[in-house]
Amino acid sequence: MTLCLQYLIVYHQATNHVDRQTVRAFSGILGLRTGNLMIYLHYFILFGISLFTVALKFISEESAQPFFTASCLYGGIFLFYIGLWLANRYNRIIINGRVVGFFIATTIAGFLAASLWPSFATFTISIAVVTLANAACLTHYMLRHNN
């Protein structure tokens, strides 16, 4: 753990040093961006997938607490969506607030359903409905704004 933390600190310092040198060298160019955010936003995606995987392991276990399982499941989805939202600035089409609001509302509704009625069927059906609804919303938005 400490080795990973040390690596992150050294890498952050090195990229900031390169960014400062690049900005100094090209100080006449406004809006210079390096894309270092893409490196850091993948931590949200990685931790989200890890939490989701932990929740999938706990769903079928009798000894696991249902609220903890639902929290891991939807916490992982939420972190994954944060990573995707941060990557939005690199996309061709910028997602508007309605789509983000829909994602937040469906994720919270799924979490509440899984927390209030904890069972294997509720977990699997709620996560399937949430991810399919969010994928359909995003697909509809992208098809409508792609032309």
C-alpha–C-alpha distance, residues 133 and 141, integer Å: 12
Average pLDDT, integer, range 2-20: 54
Per-residue tokens: 44: 């949200």
Render pLDDT for 27-81 as a digit per residue (tens, 0 to 9).
Answer: 444 444 556 677 777 888 888 888 888 887 887 777 778 888 888 888 898 988 8
- What pTM value is reported for the model? 0.68
pLDDT at position 106:
92
pLDDT at position 109:
92
C-alpha–C-alpha distance, residues 124 and 103, integer Å: 18
DSSP state of 60: T
For residue 64, report the phi and psi dihedrals to the nearest 5 degrees: -75, 140
Of the pLDDT bands very low, low, confident and very high (cuts 50, 70, 90), residue 22 is: very low
pLDDT at position 105:
93
